[in-house]
Amino acid sequence: MTKILDDLRQDHRNLALLWDLLGRELNIFKEGGHPDYELVETILDYCLNYPDLCHHPKENLVYDKLAERDPGAISAIGDLKKEHEKLTSLTWRFSTALSNVLEDEQLPREWFLNVANDFLGFSRNHMQMEEVLFFPAARKGLTGDDWAELEKAVEDVEDPLFGSDKQEKYQSLFQDIMDWKDMLEKMDADETRTKTSQPS
């Protein structure tokens, strides 16, 4: 494994946690409750900062290199850069819809949910495609020299949410993520205990 791919996959694991948290808040909204709007706003703010400014450009560089080495692999992956552009516009759309809902509670809930689910669905599918097609193709198609060249070209930016030097505006979101992870782990452990204590 290369450091670039390791870092990109770590970003995906982090993003998957954010998508789960978003999904939880959207379910609350769907049920007619009051989601934590501040949390949703902070997640979108993070998406427009770190993934759009660091994660996607890094993937684009790997993609360009792979296009030189293995055009066949690229045709299976599709236009990754276009997908990244679409993701950015879906993030802005969601972020604007959220501001509108906060200003006017009478806006149709269905409309907001559609905008939010467009973002969430596309993000999840895109990440899955990268894990299943793009990363394995890059691992297979690029040489050690290619990775060394890419390593020099990528700009290493500290992750302001998951990195060791967190930005203050993301501190509370980070705590929410940790609490959410703890809760999921506890639920898993409870489920395992229940299963093993049941007579076979």
Alpha helices in the chain (DSSP H): 3-30, 37-50, 56-69, 71-77, 80-103, 109-129, 135-141, 144-153, 171-197
Q: How far is the CB of 123 from Fe ion (least distance, A)?
A: 9
Interface with Fe ion (CB under 5 A), residue from 77, 130, 160, 177: 130
Q: Are 131 and 23 in contact (CB under 8 A)?
A: no
- Binding residue count for Fe ion, defined by CB under 5 A: 1
Print the binding letters for residues 71-110 with Fe ion: x by CB under 5 A, - otherwise: ----------------------------------------
Q: How far apart are CA 110 and CA 39, in angstroms?
A: 20
CB count within 10 Å of CB 122 equals 15
Instruction: List, in order, residues 6 or more apart from 31 with CB less than 8 Å away.
Output: none
Nearer to Fe ion, 25 or 130 (CB): 130
Smallest distance, Fe ion to C-beta of residue 14, A: 11
Q: Which of the stretches 19-27, 129-137, 141-149, 166-174 binds Fe ion when contact is defined by CB under 5 A?
A: 129-137
Q: Is 79 helix (H, G, I), strand (E, B) or coil?
A: coil
Four-point Cα dihedral 46, 47, 53, 55, nearest 10: 110
Q: Of 71-79, 94-102, 127-135, 168-176, which part binds Fe ion (CB under 5 A)?
A: 127-135
**Closer CB to Fe ion, residue 130 or residue 159?**
130
What φ, ψ does residue 32 adopt, rounded to 5°?
Answer: 90, 5
**Shortest Å distance, C-beta 105 to Fe ion:** 34
Nearest distance, CB of residue 4 and Fe ion, angstroms: 12
Closest CA to 63 of 154, 125, 124: 154
Task: Tell me the window of 31-39, 82-90, 130-138, 188-196 that interacts with Fe ion (CB under 5 A).
Answer: 130-138
Closest residue to Fe ion, based on beta-carbon distance? 130
159 binds Fe ion (CB under 5 A): no
Residues that bind Fe ion (CB under 5 A): 130
